[in-house]
Amino acid sequence: MRKKVLFICTHNAIRSHIAEAFLNNLKGDRYDAYSAGTDPTMVDPNAIKVMEEAGIDISGHRSKSVDEYNDEDFDLVVTVCDSAKEACPFFPGGKKQDHRSLRDPPELVEEGMEPQEAFRVIRDEIREWVITEF
């Protein structure tokens, strides 16, 4: 039986979608991954673009609120940014909770990195994390 995993980020715009997509794509035989946000906005077009480069289409994804999953149970709930951990320190339907502080691509851009490169760096970090930790 596959394990259900929920990735939570603040806006459900970048990191949580990338994690969801990689887990479903790379380990979909063992996991069903979902993503949500504590303050959802929209999926970032740059995230869609860099995932397309990796051969994964997330153009049909939409940002969702954690409230959409209130009545569901998950084997694992992972917050992927510090502000989401603060806003959602406990998810009622999570059998196990974990936290992974992933950098936000716009932060790298502010440090001088080109936008597409910043998104690629984070995409690749998340891919490696999914491969090694799940």
Residues forming the active site: 9, 81, 88
Please work out, in degrees rounded to the nearest 5, the angle formed at the alpha carbon of residue 106 by the alpha carbons of 21 and 126.
30
β-sheet bridge partners, residue 35: 7
Q: Do 83 and 10 touch, CB atoms closer than 8 A?
A: yes
